[in-house]
């Protein structure tokens, strides 16, 4: 086998590690959503330590129906709550939207079982969870699954076991005005979006801060999702839609990533982290560190008008799903291919905060195109052959050796954390108000 093939195979193995492979006891995928309902006016139930209807949030949920609003007053709540079933369609669980830090879910030391997530919403549509800070849960901070039209607003997700704010097998929904940090998988995740023929519901991620996570955003087989006006910084990698056959509904398609600030995603957590460092088996190889935005096997995706800067490997990379390429199942093989992705109007190295490379793409697939991007660092490969204008050609022009080069630069060994930085091209970062670069955790 040629060396380049070895590299491809190795990185293919790396990418076989599903985002969330270590997640525990998730409900099985169901059939999300109905047609949406209009709810009449319900009751308001209050929760606090003294003088409210309930002392525990779960007790209020148990007593509520979908028309109701549960208002949780300030305090620390040591419980994990679940909102499960259609009877909760339309429920509102409200803390303090202006000051989420005043209404805290703390999972530290809670026994296993139902307390793995601060909040899990399963099979209940139109549920709003708003104004909470969750930390220290074994699985996820906030988790919505098998539903449609959730609203996760004004939340802070800190140091949970997998994802910060997580939506799975769901149609539509919003993650907005929230922050996630120090999570050992991704800060925000949307995945296994059911295909929707004809009418569809779009998922919106907006006004988010995601930092200090292994990934800022991960989306395995994510569809119809818009990620916008958010900051993705100081993660191992910033935004990573990806394709895996371990989850349904591949490939990721119909997504838009626009108007984001994607910077300094060079957090080498293998040198130390405030979370449990992901354990990698001998057969697996972990994510690259130092990439702002990575499309791993996407189709019909728009990457538009983002500011992408200070990422030491590459600002943007577009890589076919090499571990699925040539699969005997034509549907799987098709999911590996990059098709009809548009990269336009992005500002690479904005503020003279340079990326290692601005864009990396091997020229594979069809209909992929690049226009009106501002570039300040070289692309990989050099030249314009791999980066045609729009509309993209069918097929694109594959550049020999480019894929091997891109993948080789991504390789690292967790037992040797410095190996993740071997191909970094470091430039000094201009100062930013309120944030400092995180490359090695200082704690």
| Residues forming the site for another protein (CB under 8 A) | 35-36, 38, 149, 172, 197-202, 204, 206, 224-226, 228-229, 255-259, 302, 304-305, 391
Please say which residue, 102 or 259, places its beta carbon nearer to another protein: 259
Q: Report which of 144, 213, 214 is spatially closest to residue 179, judged by C-alpha positions.
A: 213
Closest distance of CB 47 from another protein, Å: 28
Closest distance of CB 389 from another protein, Å: 12
Please say which residue, 258 or 327, places its beta carbon nearer to another protein: 258
Please say which residue, 231 or 423, places its beta carbon nearer to another protein: 231
Q: Nearest 5°: phi and psi at 227?
A: -115, 115
Please say which residue, 38 or 328, places its beta carbon nearer to another protein: 38
Please say which residue, 76 or 374, places its beta carbon nearer to another protein: 374
Give one DSSP letter per residue of 18-78, joined into a string: -TTTT--SPPPP-----S--------EEEE-SSSSSBSSHHHHHHH--TT-EEEE-SEEE-
Which residues does residue 70 pair with via DSSP β-bridges, in sequence order? 45, 93
Closest distance of CB 198 from another protein, Å: 3
Closest distance of CB 342 from another protein, Å: 8
Please say which residue, 52 or 302, places its beta carbon nearer to another protein: 302
Closest distance of CB 79 from another protein, Å: 31
What is the Cα–Cα distance from 7 to 83, expressed in whole angstroms?
Answer: 45
Which pairs with CB-CB distance under 8 Å and at least 24 residues apart come from 393-402?
393/366, 393/367, 393/369, 394/366, 394/367, 395/365, 395/366, 396/338, 396/363, 396/364, 396/365, 396/366, 396/367, 396/368, 397/363, 398/362, 398/363, 398/364, 399/362, 399/363, 401/4, 402/361, 402/362, 402/363
Closest distance of CB 373 from another protein, Å: 15
What is the Cα–Cα distance from 74 to 15, expressed in whole angstroms?
Answer: 42
Please say which residue, 251 or 381, places its beta carbon nearer to another protein: 251
Q: Tell me the H-state helices in 369-435.
A: 402-410
Closest distance of CB 62 from another protein, Å: 29
Q: What is the DSSP pairing of strand 342-344 with strand 81-84?
A: unpaired
Closest distance of CB 229 from another protein, Å: 7
Q: What is the DSSP pairing of strand 186-191 with strand 215-220?
A: parallel
Q: Report which of 259, 257, 321 is spatially closest to residue 293, judged by C-alpha positions.
A: 257
Q: Which two tokens stand for residue 388?
A: 């045609």
Closest distance of CB 222 from another protein, Å: 12
Please say which residue, 228 or 246, places its beta carbon nearer to another protein: 228
Closest distance of CB 241 from another protein, Å: 13
Please say which residue, 98 or 197, places its beta carbon nearer to another protein: 197
Is 17:41 a contact under the CB 8 Å cutoff?
no
What is the Cα–Cα distance from 343 to 302, expressed in whole angstroms?
Answer: 6
Please say which residue, 342 or 377, places its beta carbon nearer to another protein: 342
């Amino acid at each position: 086998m040629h060396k380049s093939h070895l590299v491809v195979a190795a990185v293919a193995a790396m990418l076989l590690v599903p985002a969330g492979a270590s997640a525990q006891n998730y409900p099985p995928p169901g059939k999300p959503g109905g047609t949406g309902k209009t709810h009449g006016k319900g009751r308001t139930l209050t929760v606090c330590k003294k003088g409210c209807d309930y002392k525990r949030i779960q007790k209020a949920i148990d007593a509520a129906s979908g028309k109701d609003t549960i208002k949780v007053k300030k305090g620390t709540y040591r419980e994990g709550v679940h909102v499960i079933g259609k009877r909760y369609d339309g429920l509102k669980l409200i803390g303090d939207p202006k000051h989420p830090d005043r209404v805290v879910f703390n999972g530290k030391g809670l026994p296993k079982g139902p307390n793995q997530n601060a909040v899990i919403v399963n099979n209940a549509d139109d549920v709003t969870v708003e104004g909470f800070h969750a930390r220290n849960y074994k699985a996820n901070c906030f988790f919505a699954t098998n539903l449609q039209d959730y609203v996760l607003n004004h939340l802070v997700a800190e140091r949970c076991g997998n994802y910060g704010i997580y939506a799975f097998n769901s149609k539509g929904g919003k993650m907005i005005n929230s922050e996630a940090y120090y999570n050992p998988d991704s800060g925000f995740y949307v995945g296994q979006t059911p295909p929707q023929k004809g009418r569809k519901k779009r998922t919106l991620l907006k006004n988010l801060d995601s930092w200090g996570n292994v990934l800022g955003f991960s989306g395995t087989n994510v569809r119809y999702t818009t990620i916008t006006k958010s900051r993705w910084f100081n993660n191992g990698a910033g935004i990573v839609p990806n394709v895996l056959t371990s989850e349904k509904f591949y490939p990721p398609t119909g997504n838009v990533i626009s108007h984001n600030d994607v910077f300094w995603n060079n957090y080498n957590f293998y040198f130390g982290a405030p979370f449990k460092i992901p354990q990698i088996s001998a057969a697996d190889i972990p994510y690259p560190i130092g990439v702002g935005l990575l499309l791993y096997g996407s189709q019909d995706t728009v990457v538009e008008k983002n500011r992408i800067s200070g990422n030491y490997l590459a600002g943007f990379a577009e890589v076919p799903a090499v571990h699925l390429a040539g699969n005997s199942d034509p549907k799987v093989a098709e999911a590996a291919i990059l098709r009809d992705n548009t990269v336009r109007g992005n500002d690479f190295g904005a503020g003279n905060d340079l990326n290692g490379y601005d864009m990396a793409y091997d020229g594979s697939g069809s209909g992929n195109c690049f226009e009106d991007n501002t570039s300040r660092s070289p692309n990989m490969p050099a030249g314009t052959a791999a980066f045609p204008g729009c509309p993209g050609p069918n097929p694109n022009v594959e550049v020999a050796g480019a894929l091997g080069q891109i993948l080789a630069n991504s390789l690292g060994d967790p037992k040797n954390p410095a190996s993740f930085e071997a191909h970094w091209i470091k430039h000094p970062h201009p100062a930013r108000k309120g944030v400092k670069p995180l490359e090695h955790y200082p704690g």
